[in-house]
Structure 1
Amino acid sequence: MKLKKRIFTILALIAVAIGVGSVCNTPNTAQAKGVPTVFPKNMRGTWYQYYTDGVEKDLSKVKITKTTYILGEYTPKVIHKYIPHDKPDFERADWIFIPGYQKQRGITWLNVKQWNEPAGIGIPDTGDDGEDGGWGENGGEFFNVSKLKGHQVLSIANTIDGTSIHNTSHWYRSVKLAKKLNKRHYKGFLY
Structure 2
Amino acid sequence: MHVNLLKAVAAATTAVCISLAGSAQAASDPLHNAVISASYNGDAAGMLGLDHGFNAEAGSNVSALDPNNPGAEFLSADYLLAFDFAPNGHLTILNNGAIGAGSYNATFDFGATLAAPIAGFSIVDSGVTSGTPVLTIVNSHTIAIDLSAVNWNGDFNALETAIVLQAMPVPEPAAAWMLLAGLAGLGTLARRRQPQH
Query: Do they fold alike, i.e. is TM over 0.5?
Result: no
TM-score (norm 1): 0.29
Structure holding more helix per residue: 2
TM-score (norm 2): 0.28
